[in-house]
């Protein structure tokens, strides 16, 4: 599945827009991590526990979004946006939404309608 | 002694009360969402800046806004604080957020339908922290969503 945050993809054209797809998750770290983060706050620096929390949440939210897109029969999600919000102290929500579309290679309009883009670049889910 | 009474009051009155009322209002909201969503079918909803499938006879597109703030119940707040201690996914709050978003989008779609459009694009959603839940652990948990989108008409009348 192709997941991008641009509206169009060079070399492909949007054959069909299927509609909005979304995924969200609210996660928390255990109290030990919260306490460790409190100490870290004294000296400054990266709060690794919370970075990890965001990474897991984003993966989960994207997975859910892509699952919805697959259900609609799309082969890509374009114009993906992320938004975060705090629910309580120490718990964060991550929300991902985009438009599920069917992409087709440019200049092959008459080919089979079920063109799965071959060997697409891997989505950004592992690019930390 | 006073602390004990407050503790018992919370345990045996507020938490069951929140559980029952919270469940009732959540069920009611979900039912209403489902009814209203099925009344509005065939809408093409996208977050693209272009207008997919716009018809040449479409009247001037119009920006519409939907806002909603909903609160969680005492039981879910309590269960959430337990979950916060151990870490992991907080499903109660997830469903709260999802309900708020569905409501906000639905309010846009209902306005769009009333004005005779059958699609919306460029959907954006923002959250606001009205209850100040990040500032104090004791404040009530509320969820506010502001959604905006542009309504227009498609040629074939459905997505």
Q: Which residue has the tokens 């005779």?
A: B116
| Interchain CB contact of B84 with A (< 8 Å) | yes
Contact list in B for residue A97 (CB cut-off 8 A) is 47, 123, 125
User: What is the C-alpha separation between B47 and B60, in angstroms, rounded?
Assistant: 18
Number of domains forming the structure of chain A: 1
Instruction: Name the strand (E) or helix (H) holding B151.
Output: strand B142-152
Listed residue (B151, B149, B158, B155) closest to B117, CA to CA: B151
List pLDDT tens digits, range A12-25. 889 999 999 999 99
A124 occurs within a structural domain? no
Residue B48 has pLDDT above 60, yes or no: yes
Nearest chain B CA: its distance from A8 CA (Å): 9
User: What is the C-alpha separation between A100 and B111, in angstroms, rounded?
Assistant: 24
Instruction: State the pLDDT confidence band at A41, using cuts at 50, 70 and 90.
Output: confident
List pLDDT tens digits, range B96-120. 899 999 999 999 999 999 999 999 9
CATH number at residue A72: 3.30.110.70
Q: Which of A107-116, B31-40, B110-119, B133-142 has the lowest mean pLDDT?
A: A107-116
What is the average per-residue pLDDT within A22-40?
Answer: 88
Is B93 close to A87, i.e. CB distance below 8 A?
yes
B143 occurs within a structural domain? yes
A121 occurs within a structural domain? no
B157 occurs within a structural domain? no
A78 occurs within a structural domain? yes
Report the relative pairing of strands B62-71 and A2-3 from DSSP bridges.
Answer: unpaired
Contact list in B for residue A103 (CB cut-off 8 A) is none
pLDDT score for B31: 95
A54 occurs within a structural domain? yes
Nearest CA in chain A to B144: A85
Is B84 close to A79, i.e. CB distance below 8 A?
no
A24 occurs within a structural domain? yes
**Percent with pLDDT over 70 in chain A:** 83
Is B127 close to A85, i.e. CB distance below 8 A?
yes
DSSP string, chain A: -EE-SSSS-TTEEEEEEEEEEEEEEEEE--HHHHHHHHHHHHH-S--HHHHHHHHHHHHHHHHHHHHHHHHTT-SEEEEEEEEEEEEETTEEEEEEEEEEEEEEETT-TTS-S--PPTTPPPPGGG--
ipTM over 0.90: no
List pLDDT tens digits, range B11-37. 888 888 889 999 999 999 999 999 999
A22 occurs within a structural domain? yes
| φ/ψ of residue A121, rounded to 5 | -60, 140
Q: Which residue has the tokens 């102290």?
A: A89
Instruction: State the pLDDT confidence band at A108, using cuts at 50, 70 and 90.
Output: low
pLDDT score for B109: 95
Listed residue (B78, B58, B65) closest to B14, CA to CA: B78
Residue B149 has pLDDT above 90, yes or no: yes
Listed residue (B38, B48, B53) closest to B157, CA to CA: B53
Q: How many residues does chain A have?
A: 128
Report the mean per-residue pLDDT for chain B: 85
B23 occurs within a structural domain? yes
Q: Which of A34, A79, A87 sits opposite B141 (nearest CB)?
A: A87
Contact list in B for residue A19 (CB cut-off 8 A) is 44-46, 159
CATH number at residue B113: 3.30.110.70
Is B101 close to A25, i.e. CB distance below 8 A?
no
pLDDT score for A117: 52
Instruction: Name the strand (E) or helix (H) holding B26.
Output: helix B15-39
Number of domains forming the structure of chain B: 1
Residue span of the structural domain in which B48 resides: 2-152
User: What is the C-alpha separation between B92 and B88, in angstroms, rounded?
Assistant: 12
The answer for B 33-62 residues in CB contact with A (under 8 A) is: 44-50, 52-53
Contact list in A for residue B91 (CB cut-off 8 A) is 26
List pLDDT tens digits, range A51-65. 888 889 999 999 999
Rg over CA atoms, chain A: 18
pLDDT score for A126: 45
**Percent with pLDDT over 70 in chain B:** 90
Residue B159 has pLDDT above 90, yes or no: no
Q: Which of A24, A98, A99 sits opposite B98 (nearest CB)?
A: A24
Q: Which of A3, A13, A28, A59 to mutate to test the interface with B (most CBs of B within 10 A)?
A: A28
B159 occurs within a structural domain? no
B144 occurs within a structural domain? yes
User: What is the C-alpha separation between B49 and B20, in angstroms, rounded?
Assistant: 43
Is B85 close to A79, i.e. CB distance below 8 A?
no
Report the mean per-residue pLDDT for chain A: 82
DSSP string, B27-54: HHHHHHHHHHHHHS-S-EE---SS-TTB
Residue span of the structural domain in which A62 resides: 2-110
| Interchain CB contact of A68 with B (< 8 Å) | no
Nearest chain B CA: its distance from A107 CA (Å): 20
pLDDT score for A110: 47
What is the average per-residue pLDDT within A104-111?
Answer: 66
List pLDDT tens digits, range A76-87. 999 999 998 887
pLDDT score for B33: 94
Burial of residue A13 (CB within 10 Å: 0-12, 13-18, 19+) is middle
A117 occurs within a structural domain? no
A38 occurs within a structural domain? yes
Report residue B145 CA to chain centroid gap. Answer: 7
């Amino acid at each position: 599945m192709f997941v991008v945050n641009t509206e169009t993809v060079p070399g492909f054209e949007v054959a069909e827009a299927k509609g909005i797809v979304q995924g969200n998750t609210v996660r928390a770290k255990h109290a030990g991590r919260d306490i460790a983060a409190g100490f870290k706050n004294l000296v400054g620096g990266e709060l690794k526990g919370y970075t990890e929390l965001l990474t897991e949440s984003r993966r989960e939210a994207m997975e859910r979004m892509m699952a919805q897109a697959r259900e609609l029969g799309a082969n890509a999600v374009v114009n993906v946006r992320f938004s975060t919000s705090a629910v309580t102290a120490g718990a964060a929500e991550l929300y991902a939404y985009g438009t599920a579309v069917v992409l087709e290679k440019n200049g092959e309009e008459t080919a089979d309608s079920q063109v799965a883009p071959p060997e697409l670049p891997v989505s950004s889910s592992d690019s930390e | 002694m006073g602390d004990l009474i407050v503790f018992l009051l919370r345990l045996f009155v507020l938490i069951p009360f929140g559980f029952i009322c919270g469940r009732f209002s959540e069920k009611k909201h979900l039912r209403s969402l489902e009814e209203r969503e099925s009344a509005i079918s065939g809408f093409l909803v996208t977050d693209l800046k272009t207008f997919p499938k716009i018809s040449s006879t479409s009247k001037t597109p119009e920006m519409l806004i939907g806002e909603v703030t909903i609160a969680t119940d005492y039981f879910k707040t309590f269960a959430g604080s337990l979950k916060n201690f151990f870490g992991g996914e907080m499903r109660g709050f997830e469903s709260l957020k999802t309900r708020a978003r569905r409501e906000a989008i639905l309010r846009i779609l209902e306005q769009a339908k009333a004005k005779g459009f059958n699609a919306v694009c460029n959907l954006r959603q923002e959250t606001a922290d009205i209850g100040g839940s990040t500032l104090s652990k004791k404040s009530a948990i509320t969820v506010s969503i502001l959604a905006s989108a542009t309504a227009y008409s498609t040629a074939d009348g459905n997505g």
